Amino acid sequence: MNSIKPGYIYVLEHPSDPDLYKIGITTREPKKRLAEHNSDFTKAAGLEVKETGQTWVLKEYHAVPDPYLAESAFWAATPFSLFPFRSRVEIKTMSWETVQAGLSAARKVGVRPKSKPQPDHVYAYNAWMKKRLIGRGIVLVSHVRSKYGKSNFRCSQGHEWRTVPNEVAEGKGCPHCGQGARTPEEIRENLDVGVLCLLVSPLKLGFIRVVTVRGELEHLDDSDDIWNEWEIQRYRSVEEPELAETLIFGLLGNPTTDDDGLIEMDIDRAERAFKELHYSMVRQIAMAEKRHSETMEGDPS
């Protein structure tokens, strides 16, 4: 099923300059977007209204089956396509002939071909990358197939580049303008990470404990109070510790625990569950990322 929503490509003109146009796309009524552009003074179109005291006028609009593809076709048919780092703010001074050429191209395109489904690990890597881009003004514009391969990124200034995802994940910003640069420490501050531990004790043969320690692997040294006579048999660093806990207990067969967190279980079975946890996490994170990606096909503006 193709989840792309049909919509409109529209042209706004401004009374302050007969050659100043705003090109936009939306899946809602273009007149509603017009009202928003004329009232939101935090965006470029609204700032034009605030500075001049004059509002935008809806010159024309056209229904299109794929707004994003129509927008790309519009700009590809204009001289602005020659500038690879053109700003994402679609307000330009241009001739009406240029606008008409762009609209003609936009009306002719259909719908993007449905993308081939990717393996679960690719969607999981995409989710991993996007967590590290939050609040940085950088978006991922291609799949991450490996942390150390190459993927495409775009900053809020419109610059696009291709690089090793792990470098961006560790804090490197846009190579053209520096947008989104962070220290590794700043990146980690915004991540929900933990270490899931399988504990055994020579004094409690036939029993195990499963304990989650928040933070990085080195934080295990700060958790002596939970160990006592218990030793780490196996551990796994995880993102989304709550999900990891839910999954590991499911893999263990949802056993009951006593007040001390003891689980009566054969150690071999517990170790098999810990080995399976990675693949279970990948599947769950991939499913969530697929749903999110489908939702984001929604309302362009």
**Amino acid code (one letter) for 115:** S
pLDDT of residue 260: 82
User: Residue 172 carries which DSSP code?
Assistant: -
Per-residue pLDDT of the chain (301 residues; tens, 9 = 90+): 345 788 999 999 999 999 999 999 998 899 999 999 999 998 889 999 999 999 999 999 999 998 888 988 998 898 886 654 454 557 889 999 999 999 999 999 877 666 678 899 999 999 999 999 999 999 998 899 999 999 999 888 878 899 999 999 999 999 999 999 999 999 998 899 999 999 999 999 999 999 998 887 776 665 555 677 899 999 999 999 999 999 999 999 999 988 888 999 999 999 999 999 999 999 999 999 988 877 665 444 4
Please name which of 191, 234, 230, 182 lies closest in space to residue 214, comparing C-alpha atoms. 191
* Burial class of residue 155, CB neighbours in 10 A (0-12, 13-18, 19+): buried
Q: How many helices (H) and strands (E) does the chain have?
A: 9, 11
Integer Cα distance of 96 and 16 in angstroms: 15
* Burial class of residue 233, CB neighbours in 10 A (0-12, 13-18, 19+): middle
Is residue 195 within 8 Å of 213, Cβ to Cβ? yes
Integer Cα distance of 38 and 56 in angstroms: 6
Please name which of 2, 21, 33 lies closest in space to residue 101, comparing C-alpha atoms. 21
Please name which of 12, 9, 8, 10 lies closest in space to residue 20, comparing C-alpha atoms. 12
Spell out the long-range contacts of 226-229 with Cβ–Cβ below 8 A and sequence spacing 24 or more. Answer: 227/199, 229/201, 229/202, 229/203, 229/204
Whole-model pTM: value is 0.64
Rg of the chain in Å (alpha carbons) = 26
Instruction: Please report the DSSP string for 127-165 in residue order.
Output: HHHHHTTTTTTEEE-S--S-TTS-EEEEETTS-EEEE-H
pLDDT of residue 301: 47
Please name which of 27, 60, 80, 20 lies closest in space to residue 44, comparing C-alpha atoms. 20
